[in-house]
């Protein structure tokens, strides 16, 4: 796969690329990339830089001919972040939840499709007016780049896609207000939050509810990147989110439909635990998942995810081989 900056509109962005057996941080400008040292960053590593991001420093490097610039097409990009925590916002697009409820992804199968739609619509409108964001936790070890094929575990045939705008935390955020929240955003990236649908609800004890650990944390279930785009270049409140499966558009939404916006998500999440530099906070997924289409991921599928201004992510699916 040839790496390009297709869909990346910012004058520069951060990326991580493979260099033999190691991974290096790089600065992307147009169709070229150069490695970044600690001296270039003015910080020992990526997360230390994100704690106090100096984008003007990187802009000067991006505009300079100095440094070991390479064609972007000559490198293999991997996940552009190294989060210590991954938080995921659930049920944060109104139409997405309505679709899932109508498709039968609830513990109540007694409703007709029309009743289910009306129930879900009222629930989401009530949440937007009176509720607060709903979070669950992902494992940082699940974060990979799109250079890693998505291996579909053999224990299920209903692995689903959920393309999402992901917030990359900058300065540590702990119990911040909504008014302060955006000051703690370093940038944004793309994440495809893969979900095994038949594991979402516990069948052995329904009272327990959802099981996000099993449903969302298989190896490689958070394809991320390829770019970390600085916050000054992105209006996260209104960007298009699109996922194509084998060339056919499945998701085509906008973050303008978020029930709880970026400031609300950061502020609410930070009330419980400090959000650390480099952490990921996923904002939710628009409608058009496999549960809606009754079509799930298969061996050989190719997902192309694009978020306006953040570039394009291409994930190839492979069936899990027999245990050795």
Same domain, 266 and 201: yes
Same domain, 165 and 284: yes
Do residues 242 and 251 make contact, with C-beta atoms less than 8 angstroms apart? yes
- Indicate the pLDDT class of residue 130, thresholds 50, 70 and 90: confident
Same domain, 68 and 197: no
DSSP string of 88-125? EEES-BHHHHHHHHHTT-SS---S-HHHHHHHHHHHHH
Cβ burial of 129 (10 Å; 0-12, 13-18, 19+) is exposed
Cβ burial of 92 (10 Å; 0-12, 13-18, 19+) is buried
In a domain, 43, yes or no: yes
**What element of type H or E holds 242?**
strand 240-245
Instruction: Return the top range by mean pLDDT from 98-112, 133-147, 197-211.
Output: 133-147
Average pLDDT over residues 68-93: 96
Same domain, 26 and 133: no
Same domain, 69 and 96: no
pLDDT of residue 104: 64
In a domain, 105, yes or no: yes
Q: What percent of the chain has pLDDT over 70?
A: 96
Same domain, 34 and 169: no
Report angle CA 144, 148, 153 to the nearest 5 degrees: 90
Do residues 128 and 319 make contact, with C-beta atoms less than 8 angstroms apart? no
Last residue of a domain, one of 78, 108, 133: 78
pLDDT of residue 209: 85
Same domain, 124 and 44: no
Same domain, 181 and 39: no
Last residue of a domain, one of 78, 97, 119: 78
In a domain, 7, yes or no: no
Same domain, 124 and 167: yes
pLDDT of residue 109: 62
In a domain, 4, yes or no: no
Alpha-helical regions (H) of the chain: 38-41, 46-51, 55-62, 94-102, 113-130, 178-181, 212-216, 262-270, 290-293
More confident residue, 60 or 125: 60
pLDDT of residue 89: 96
Q: What are phi and psi of 171, to 5 degrees?
A: -60, 135
Can you tell me the distance from the alpha carbon of 283 to that of 166, in angstroms, rounded to the nearest whole number?
6
Summarised one tens digit per residue, pLDDT across range 59-80 is 999 999 888 999 999 999 999 9
For the entire predicted model, the pTM comes to: 0.92
Same domain, 34 and 122: no
Can you tell me the distance from the alpha carbon of 75 to that of 62, in angstroms, rounded to the nearest whole number?
17
Can you give the CATH number for the domain in which 128 is found?
Answer: 3.90.850.10
In a domain, 8, yes or no: no
DSSP string of 141-157? GGEE-TTS-EEE-TT-S
Judge whether residue 6 has pLDDT over 60: yes
Judge whether residue 102 has pLDDT over 90: no
Same domain, 243 and 94: yes
Residue range(s) defining the domain that contains residue 40? 13-78
In a domain, 5, yes or no: no
Same domain, 63 and 212: no
Q: CA dist 80 to 122, 165, 264, Å?
A: 38, 14, 25
Can you tell me the distance from the alpha carbon of 236 to that of 255, in angstroms, rounded to the nearest whole number?
7
Cβ burial of 199 (10 Å; 0-12, 13-18, 19+) is buried
pLDDT of residue 1: 59
Structure tokens at 261: 């916006």
Summarised one tens digit per residue, pLDDT across range 252-281 is 999 999 999 999 999 999 999 999 999 999
The number of domains in the chain is: 2
In a domain, 324, yes or no: no
């Amino acid at each position: 796969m040839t790496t390009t900056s297709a869909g990346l509109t910012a004058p520069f962005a951060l990326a991580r690329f493979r260099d033999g057996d190691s991974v290096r941080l790089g600065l992307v400008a147009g169709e070229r990339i150069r490695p970044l040292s600690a001296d270039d960053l003015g910080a020992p590593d990526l997360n230390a830089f994100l704690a106090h991001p100096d984008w003007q420093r990187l802009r000067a490097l991006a505009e300079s001919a100095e440094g070991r610039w390479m064609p972007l097409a000559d490198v293999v990009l991997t996940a552009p972040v190294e989060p210590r925590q991954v938080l995921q916002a659930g049920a944060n697009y109104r139409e997405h939840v309505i679709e899932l409820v109508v498709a039968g992804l609830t513990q109540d199968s007694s409703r007709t499709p029309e009743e289910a739609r009306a129930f879900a619509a009222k629930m989401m409108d009530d949440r937007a007016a009176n509720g607060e964001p709903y979070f669950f936790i992902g494992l940082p070890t699940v974060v990979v780049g799109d250079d890693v094929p998505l291996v579909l575990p053999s224990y299920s045939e209903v692995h689903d896609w959920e393309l999402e705008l992901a917030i990359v935390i900058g300065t540590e955020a702990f119990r911040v207000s909504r008014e302060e929240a955006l000051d703690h955003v370093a940038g944004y990236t793309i994440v495809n939050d893969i979900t095994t649908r038949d594991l979402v609800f516990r069948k052995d004890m329904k009272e327990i509810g959802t099981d996000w650990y099993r449903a969302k944390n298989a190896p490689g279930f958070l394809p991320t990147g390829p770019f970390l785009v600085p916050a000054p270049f992105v209006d996260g409140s209104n960007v298009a989110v699109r996922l194509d499966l084998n060339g056919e558009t499945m998701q085509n939404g906008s973050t303008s439909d978020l029930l709880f916006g970026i400031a609300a998500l950061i502020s609410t999440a930070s009330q419980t635990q400090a959000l650390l530099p480099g952490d990921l906070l996923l904002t939710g997924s628009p409608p058009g998942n496999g549960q809606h289409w009754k079509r799930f991921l298969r061996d050989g599928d190719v997902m192309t995810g694009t978020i306006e201004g953040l570039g394009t992510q291409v994930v190839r699916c492979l069936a899990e081989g027999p245990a050795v």
